[in-house]
C-alpha cells in the first residue's frame, strides 16, 4: 500500500527527477519547486546543457517520463520573432522562453526537432528576463510572444510563472504580450484580472485532428469553455487556427469545426484570428525523420519553400480561399492574420 501511495504521489507530482544547477538554488522559484515536489529525486548539476544537450536521447520515448531541469539562463533573453510566425501587424516582434519544452505532446510539434531532449527546462532568474524585456520596450513598442516554446497556462498548476510576471507585464505600458495555449484551465482566469496589454491566444483544432495528433491535450470543448470564461472575465482573446492540415481526410472537417466554434463563441468579442498552415523548418524536419521513432504526420507529402517544409504555395492558396469564404461568415477578414 505504501508503494502504491508513493507511485500515486509521483504521478501527481509529474517529475520523478529534478536536476538543478548549483547557481539556481538561491532563486525563489527554485525553492518553490523543490518544496512542491518533495518526492522527486534531486540531482545537482553544473549546467543544464550537460543534461539537456546530451547525445543519443530519444525525444519520443523521453516524453513519457519527463524530468525537470532548473537552470539560470544566460543572455539573450529576447529573440526576434521568426518569419514562420505571425506578427499580427507588429513590426517590433520578439519572443522569449521562460520554459523549454511543453507538457503537451502534439505529434506535429517542432520542439522535437529543435531540442535533443523532451525534458522540461525551467529558467529561474526571472528578474533578468524582466530587465531585458523592459529595456527593449523602453526604446519602442514591443509585441512579445511569451509562450511559443511551451504552454504557460497549461503549465500553471505545476509552475506558476505568471505569478512572477503578471505585475511586471501590467506595468510595462509599451509592451503587448501574447500567451498562447491549448489549456482548458479555467481557474487561471478566475485568479488574475485582465490586462489591457495581455492577449490570451487559444490554439484550436477540429476534434479529428486533436484525436489524431494532439492526444495529450484538452479536448476542443474544454478549450471553448476556457475561451468563454476568459471572455466573461474581460480578457482579450485571440483564436489561433494553426496548424491547418490539408488532406482528404481532414478537409471536410473544417467547415463544421468553424461552425461549431462560432456557434459557441461570440465572434464579436474575439480580438482577432491567427491562421497558418502546417510548417516546420527544414533543419528541424530532417532531425525528426532521422529519429528511429517519429510521428506519422511527417510522412505526408510536403514541399520545401525557403528552407521551410510545408504545403505547396498553389495548394495553400487554393485551400486558403475555401477556408476564408467560410470564416468571413463569422468574422471580418481584416481581423484574420496570416503569414
Contact present, 158 and 14 (Cβ < 8 Å): yes
Q: What is the DSSP letter of 222?
A: H
Q: Which whole number is the average pLDDT over 118-135?
A: 97
At 258 the pLDDT is 97
Residues with Cβ within 8 Å of 29's Cβ and at least 6 positions away in sequence, in order, are 70, 122, 124, 126, 159, 164
At 248 the pLDDT is 85
pLDDT band for 10, please (50, 70, 90 cuts): very low
Task: With a cut of 90, say whether residue 335 has pLDDT above it.
Answer: yes
Contact present, 231 and 189 (Cβ < 8 Å): no
Residues 126-146: b if buried by 16+ CB within 10 A, e if exposed = beebbebbeebbeeeebbbbb
Give the C-alpha separation, 222 to 232, whole Å. 15
At 7 the pLDDT is 37
CA-closest candidate to residue 279, choices 309, 304, 316: 309
Give this prediction's pTM. 0.93
pLDDT band for 148, please (50, 70, 90 cuts): confident
At 153 the pLDDT is 96
| Higher-confidence position of 165 and 62 | 165
- β partners of residue 144: 94, 177
At 13 the pLDDT is 61
Give the C-alpha separation, 94 to 87, whole Å. 9
Q: Which whole number is the average pLDDT over 69-75?
A: 97
pLDDT band for 12, please (50, 70, 90 cuts): low
Contact present, 171 and 196 (Cβ < 8 Å): no
Contact present, 9 and 39 (Cβ < 8 Å): yes
Q: Which whole number is the average pLDDT over 151-163?
A: 93
Q: How many residues in the chain?
A: 339
At 334 the pLDDT is 95
Q: What is the average pLDDT value for the chain, to the nearest integer?
A: 92
Q: Which whole number is the average pLDDT over 120-140?
A: 96
Q: Which whole number is the average pLDDT over 267-283?
A: 96
Residues 191-205: b if buried by 16+ CB within 10 A, e if exposed = ebeebebbbbbbbbb
Q: Which whole number is the average pLDDT over 318-334?
A: 96
- 226, with CB counted inside 10 A (0-12, 13-18, 19+), is buried
The model's pLDDT over 207-227, given as tens digits with 9 standing for 90+, comes to: 999 999 998 999 999 999 999
At 249 the pLDDT is 86
Provide the sign of the torsion angle of the four alpha carbons 36, 71, 43, 153, taken in this order.
Answer: positive
Give the C-alpha separation, 192 to 163, whole Å. 9
Amino acid at each position: 500500500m505504501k508503494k502504491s501511495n508513493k507511485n500515486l504521489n509521483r504521478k501527481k507530482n509529474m517529475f520523478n527527477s529534478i536536476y538543478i544547477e548549483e547557481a539556481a538554488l538561491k532563486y525563489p522559484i527554485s525553492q518553490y519547486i523543490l518544496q512542491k515536489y518533495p518526492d522527486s529525486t534531486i540531482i545537482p548539476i553544473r549546467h543544464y546543457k550537460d543534461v539537456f544537450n546530451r547525445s543519443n536521447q530519444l525525444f519520443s520515448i523521453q516524453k513519457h517520463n519527463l524530468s525537470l531541469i532548473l537552470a539560470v539562463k544566460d543572455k539573450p533573453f529576447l529573440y526576434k520573432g521568426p518569419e514562420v510566425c505571425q506578427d499580427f501587424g507588429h513590426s517590433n516582434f520578439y519572443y522569449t522562453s521562460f520554459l523549454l519544452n511543453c507538457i503537451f505532446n502534439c505529434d506535429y510539434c517542432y520542439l522535437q526537432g529543435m531540442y535533443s531532449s523532451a525534458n522540461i527546462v525551467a529558467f529561474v532568474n526571472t528578474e533578468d528576463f524582466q530587465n531585458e524585456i523592459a529595456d527593449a520596450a523602453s526604446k519602442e513598442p514591443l509585441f512579445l510572444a511569451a509562450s511559443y516554446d511551451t504552454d504557460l497556462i497549461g503549465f500553471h498548476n505545476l509552475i506558476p510563472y505568471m505569478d512572477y510576471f503578471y505585475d511586471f507585464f501590467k506595468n510595462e505600458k509599451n509592451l503587448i504580450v501574447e500567451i498562447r495555449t491549448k489549456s482548458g484551465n479555467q481557474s487561471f482566469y478566475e485568479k488574475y484580472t485582465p490586462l489591457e496589454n495581455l492577449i490570451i491566444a487559444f490554439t484550436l483544432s477540429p476534434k479529428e485532428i486533436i484525436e489524431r495528433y494532439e492526444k495529450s491535450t484538452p479536448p476542443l470543448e474544454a478549450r471553448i469553455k476556457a475561451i468563454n470564461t476568459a471572455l466573461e472575465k474581460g480578457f482579450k482573446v485571440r483564436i489561433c487556427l494553426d496548424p491547418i492540415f490539408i488532406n482528404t481526410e481532414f478537409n471536410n472537417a473544417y467547415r463544421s469545426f468553424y461552425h461549431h466554434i462560432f456557434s459557441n463563441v461570440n465572434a464579436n468579442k474575439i480580438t482577432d484570428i491567427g491562421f497558418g498552415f502546417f510548417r516546420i523548418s527544414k533543419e528541424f524536419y530532417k532531425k525528426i525523420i532521422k529519429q528511429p521513432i517519429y510521428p506519422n504526420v511527417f510522412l505526408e507529402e510536403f514541399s520545401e519553400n525557403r528552407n521551410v517544409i510545408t504545403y505547396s504555395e498553389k495548394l495553400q492558396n487554393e485551400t486558403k480561399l475555401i477556408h476564408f469564404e467560410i470564416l468571413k461568415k463569422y468574422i471580418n477578414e481584416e481581423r484574420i492574420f496570416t503569414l
